[in-house]
Amino acid sequence: MKIQKKTIRFLAMSTYGAFLLASFLLGFSPGKQIGYNFFSFSIEMLKILPCAFILIGLFEVWVKKEKVEKHLGPESGFVGYVWVILLAGTTVGGLYVAFPVAYSLYNKGAKLSVIFTYIGAAGICRIPMTIFEASFMGLRFSFIRLMVSIPLVLVSSIWLGNYLEKRNYKIMAGK
């Protein structure tokens, strides 16, 4: 008998909710901590995501496909990678925001290797994160980390992008 996805999701969410409720009622500390973490994470996401999605929507409307293709498309060359690293440095909200932006860039004609570079760079070289890191770990540490990480992201992104483009890979819209 085939169980539908909705039924599985409902059972998983119900089990999670029952676990959290039981943890709070029975005083199970790890379960209570999971509940606190879940709710604090949810509040943080509710603060960031609405503004981010509004900005992504404005990007979809205001930025022409030709502009993205020119600067980040197949003919952009190395400058496309520079542009996308600079864009990733200003991304607020981490990868929660970076993935929808990457999808939008893909729909507007950016090549796969540039998109992979954007996602990697959004994870490692956001300006607020780097400043915070430098204040605790030191400027030298942050500089060395960036000088090692950025070339690795570039090389792996170019390799993966070329590999997938040779196989005519297309990103599909989620359901």
Q: pLDDT tens across 43-64, in order? A: 988 888 888 889 888 988 998 9
Determine if the pTM surpasses 0.95.
Answer: no
Are residues 84 and 121 in contact, defined by beta-carbon separation less than 8 angstroms?
A: yes
> In angstroms, rounded to a whole number, what is the distance separating the alpha carbons of residues 85 and 24?
44
- Which residues fall within 8 angstroms of residue 74, CB to CB, at 6 or more apart? 111
Q: pLDDT tens across 136-153, in order? A: 999 999 999 999 999 999
Are residues 85 and 150 in contact, defined by beta-carbon separation less than 8 angstroms?
A: yes
- CA angle at residue 11 from 6 to 15, to 5 degrees? 150
- For residue 106, CA distances in Å to 8, 23, 64, 78, 101 come to 32, 43, 13, 17, 9
**Three-state SS for 173?**
coil
What is the residue-level pLDDT of the chain in tens, covering all 175 positions? 566 888 889 999 999 999 999 999 999 999 999 999 999 999 988 888 888 889 888 988 998 999 999 999 999 889 999 999 999 998 877 788 889 899 999 999 999 999 999 999 999 988 888 999 999 999 999 999 999 999 999 999 999 999 999 998 887 765 5
Residue 41 structure tokens: 């994470």
Task: Of 108, 126, 112, 123, give the one whose Cα is nearest residue 153.
Answer: 123
Q: Which residue has the tokens 């909710």?
A: 17
Give the CA radius of gyration of the chain: 20
